[in-house]
Structure 1
Amino acid sequence: MKSNRPQKPERRNRMGASQMSRTERQQRNPRPEPARVQGAVQSQMSWRDKFDAWSAHHSNSAIESLLRMLETPLQSAMTWLVIAIAIALPAALFVVFSNLQQIGQAWQDSSQVSVFLKKEAGASQAQELRGRIAQRPDVLDARYISPEQALIEFKQNSGLGELASHLDENPLPGVIMITPKMQQNTPQALADLQQTLVAEPLVADVRLDMLWVKRLHQFIAIAERFVTALAGLLALGVLLVIGNTIRMAIENRRDEILVVKLVGGTDAYVRRPFLYTGLWFGVGGGIVAAVLLALGFWWLAAPVAQLADLYQSSFRLQGLGFIESIQLILLAGFTGLIGAWIAVARHLYQIQPR
């Protein structure tokens, strides 16, 4: 029988040769090993990623702050109502001013300048003077009344028609009735117009009732200062109300603010939700104020119209328009944002992790 033992060394030699050849091939063509990174690696964000993160946090802060306010509807509604009352008072006075200006335009005929002509002034000369006066930039209209027409109006309106019929000659002169423009309807402008007309050779006298004009302008000046002072005081009250509300919100979230600052949150990151809270308080108060003003002027419109009709006037009470309402809401939101910024800048600095 043949034995297989002599074949074992040969098989081992073959295996060893194959391993040696493989080792030689690896030594001849070594594979490059990947370099190992040692230590921490700093990743850099592009400006687009930073902007996306910034805008996302803004939107999240705005939505989260609004939802927090809606979680306490009674407290938020009371704050909105207080802000609305503080905003509605000066806004109502502003609307009253606008209506007074409308009444002033309706009274524009009361500021007419009466130019009395000399007896020797003929009709053609009077018409020529009227045309030159009407072309002035500060004159809205100029109307000539002849002596005959003035006598007819005197008989109709004075109640002395029978007595005027027995007169031998017409004692009334020709008159030019001048209506100045509204922007020139000031005491100084009317006085300048009066001096210019007196210098005309055909003019005998110029009559102008300046007293009511001075009273009206003085009243408007006093009322404007009063409204400005009241608006400033009420705006300060709105700032204090919103500032106190933001201070309470900061105190309630003190622990959360400390944790955010410990993990590296910046003051701008922490400040952002509270600023949106102040903005929402201001915008909500402005909306409530606009609604209150609309309801109030709608309620007063009918009695004011009836009173104007009794005086044969076409005056109608005008409330806030759409553009004015939007401006009121934006102004209230800006005021709320300023109040929140002041409160956060003062109280957030005091919260620092130890």
Structure 2
Amino acid sequence: MHKRALKIICAVIFIPVLPVQGVVEINFPSLSSTHLSGAREYATIYESYAKAFGKYYAPALGFSSHLTAPTGKDQLSAFPSLLLGTGLGTSFANVKAIKAESNEAVTSSAVPSVLPSLGLSFNLGVGITKKWAAYLSLFPSVEFAMPASISGTNASFTYSNVKARTTYLLVESSFLKPGVSLGGYMNWTRGRFKLRYDNISSVNYTYDFNGTPASSNLTYDLESDFSWSIFGTGAEIRAWYDLMFFSPYIGYGLGLQTGRFDSIVNLNGNLDVTITPTTESSTGFIRITDSARAPGVLQRFLFGFEFSFFLIKFGAEAQFETTTGMAGVSAGFSLVF
């Protein structure tokens, strides 16, 4: 029976590789071809910003989709049973690394002090038999406005998530031995994070144009639009001890995921470019589009506990992802019938 369960859970998975591409569009119609070099300098500056978000923010979002339902033993050995609950978790995006890998000429306010990388869900668990349990976590697409005290500007965060997990009981818990389960899951998360900063005045940016001193000054509105869609599948093994109302547990998860993180950065404003001895000015825009793949492999270590009292169950969990070095925490509350 164990071998059959293993075959059901650990199916062979093929995950396609999505293309990654970057596009820069520059439109300042009143600038000559030589003075457009000033616009290209700003495009290079903000390309680093778009790529840094893809490198460090995308992994946090894929990881957070697993931080929604802290549970050690699902509804195993509880047949028949029904669980209804909610969960909340977060991973910690590396804001310092995003700032460090963005060009120093990027306005300092373009990266908020805190980046939303939440996991939210409504949870449904069912004890199918004494050996099998199923768990569904989902959250519909909802847009949240971020307070200016966190983002420093007008910002919104849109999020949706679905994760389905089936678990098989390998070893039943007793006083002298832990319970052990093996599970398989599929998950899908998508969302969008938008930022807008108005009327940014840059310092006079100097550069060299074919050996001639040059400078550019852009007064602009900055709009950043980050979106993602990530699908994953994998297996998890968990072990727990039943200590009256308290059940500590540990676990390990190995999964594959595919998806992409898209960055669109718009700079709209007035650009003054000086290439000694002439100066030209124009109103226009720079549009940068960049894409990054989500990390292909997730390897997670789980540590948590459940507290059960009559119909009430509370769980808390910490996870560490070794591929990216990220950490996250979650908590959940449920009613069990």
**Greater percentage in strand:** 2
TM-score where L is the length of structure 2: 0.24
Which structure dedicates a bigger proportion of its chain to helix?
Answer: 1
Normalised to the residue count of structure 1, the TM-score between the two structures is 0.24
